[in-house]
């Protein structure tokens, strides 16, 4: 049974106080603002805390608002067949926007707020997807009602030269849209079509082997001397990633431990979801130690200081720009940072015959036997042996300590 009562806010400096309706349902409660404010002379407060409204007009405004809310609460409870709803659920039913209002609502506003309040680890990818979609639409406003198969198809085609972005960006929009449909649709009324991403199919990413660079491409890349500052940064980061078991760019940026022998980190993407916090320890090859010196963070708060980047997003954009400049200098059709991680795994498995379980550990993935992982003490010896084999194989005769300096 839901109960309503009138409550008064704290006294402000001018003696006024807001009036609210307190809704209690079970063990939950919420406050509903009435937009009525009592000025200093509009009420009297007694020693026991009781408040008497002296202003008749405001008194009747409050009573009318309370009566109106009570009617709507009763209607919500009737329509839900006596089911116990939380106070928040009741309020959502009462103040839910009408169908036309929702269809005119700005999808981008909803989407950015959804990402801001979510606990997703890949928020950067979602924000990039939204900004790219805004650029394609030529506007920061896109009504939910204008999200159509035809629009998604045209945007998809505009991303055809960036297959990974094509898949990830569209998947991000699908996730946001489906959550909006879940929020606004009810059993009685369909406001946002649940079939948009049934009719429009998000392209799948290519298998890893097709995204990996060949050994010849890797050697050409690392033998190349970039002509831009961002290009140099991108090449250095790619070298670090490949030689550190395919470490992701964000983990290079966030890493806080290096003792001259081992590089240790907890994978940003999965550390909160794993009992071992996605911890990994990688023996640093002598050939890349000069890069640890080159980018050493002076205050030791992190392992690397990659220059004047105020946050990871800025750093990420610099590396992407560097990859683009190197791609153009080499005359390649495609070059992305993630390819070095895939290349490491592909070479380890296909060229060197390293077992898949070890490759998974090198990538800092969850093992296939999660129960065993709980009982077996982590040992990084095998992945470090495997990692050295990969580095030796790729850089035989082309990479020396001097070239890294």
Kindly state the helix (H) or strand (E) to which residue 231 belongs, with its residue range. helix 229-243
64 phi and psi, to 5 degrees?
A: -65, -40
Task: Give 151-177 pLDDT, tens digit per residue.
Answer: 999 999 998 877 667 888 999 999 999
Residue 342 near residue 367, CB atoms below 8 Å: no
Range from 10-24, 77-91, 207-221 that averages highest in pLDDT: 10-24
Give the model's pLDDT for residue 208: 45
The pLDDT of 342-365, averaged and rounded, is 94
Q: From residue 102, give the alpha-carbon distance in Å to each of 143, 183, 238, 393.
A: 8, 11, 45, 57
For residue 205, pLDDT over 80 is answered with no
Q: How confident is the model at residue 108 (pLDDT cuts 50, 70, 90)?
A: very high
Among residues 33, 36, 31, 40, the alpha carbon closest in space to that of 58 is found at: 36
Give the model's pLDDT for residue 326: 97
Task: Give 303-319 pLDDT, tens digit per residue.
Answer: 999 998 989 989 999 99
Taking every pair of Cα atoms in the chain, the longest distance, rounded to a whole number of angstroms, is: 91
């Amino acid at each position: 049974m839901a109960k309503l009562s009138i409550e008064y806010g704290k006294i402000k400096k001018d003696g006024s106080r807001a009036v609210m309706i307190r809704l209690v349902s079970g063990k939950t409660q919420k406050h509903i603002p009435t937009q009525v404010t009592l000025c200093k002379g509009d009420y009297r407060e007694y020693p026991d805390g009781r408040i008497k409204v002296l202003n008749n007009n405001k008194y009747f405004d409050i009573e009318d608002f309370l009566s109106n809310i009570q009617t709507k609460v009763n209607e919500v409870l009737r329509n839900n067949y006596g089911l116990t709803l939380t106070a928040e659920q009741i309020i959502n039913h009462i103040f839910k926007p009408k169908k036309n209002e929702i269809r005119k609502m700005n999808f981008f506003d909803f989407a950015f707020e959804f990402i801001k309040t979510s606990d997703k680890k890949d928020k950067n990818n979602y924000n990039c997807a939204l900004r790219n979609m805004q650029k394609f639409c030529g506007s920061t406003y896109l009504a939910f009602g204008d999200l159509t198969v035809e629009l998604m198809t045209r945007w998809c085609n505009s991303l055809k030269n960036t297959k990974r972005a094509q898949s990830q960006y569209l998947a991000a929009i699908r996730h946001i849209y489906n959550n909006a449909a879940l929020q606004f649709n009810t059993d009685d009324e369909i406001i946002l079509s649940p079939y948009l991403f049934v009719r429009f199919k998000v392209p799948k990413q290519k298998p890893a082997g097709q995204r990996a660079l060949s050994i010849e491409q890797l050697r050409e890349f690392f033998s190349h001397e970039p002509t831009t500052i961002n290009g140099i940064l991108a090449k250095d980061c790619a070298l670090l990633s490949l030689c550190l078991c395919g470490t992701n760019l964000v983990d290079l940026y966030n890493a806080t431990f290096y003792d001259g022998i081992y590089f240790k980190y907890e994978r940003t993407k999965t550390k909160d979801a794993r009992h071992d916090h996605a911890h990994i320890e990688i023996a640093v090859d002598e050939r890349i130690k000069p890069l640890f010196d080159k980018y050493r963070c002076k205050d030791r708060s992190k392992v690397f200081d990659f220059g004047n980047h105020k946050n990871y997003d800025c750093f990420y954009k610099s590396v992407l720009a560097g990859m683009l400049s190197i791609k153009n200098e080499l005359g390649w059709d495609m070059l992305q940072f993630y390819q070095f991680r895939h290349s490491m795994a592909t070479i380890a498995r296909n060229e060197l015959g390293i077992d898949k379980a070890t490759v998974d550990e090198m990538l800092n993935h969850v093992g296939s036997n999660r129960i065993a992982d709980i009982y077996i003490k982590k040992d990084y010896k095998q992945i470090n042996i495997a990692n050295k084999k990969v580095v030796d194989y790729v850089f035989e005769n082309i990479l020396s300590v001097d070239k890294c300096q």
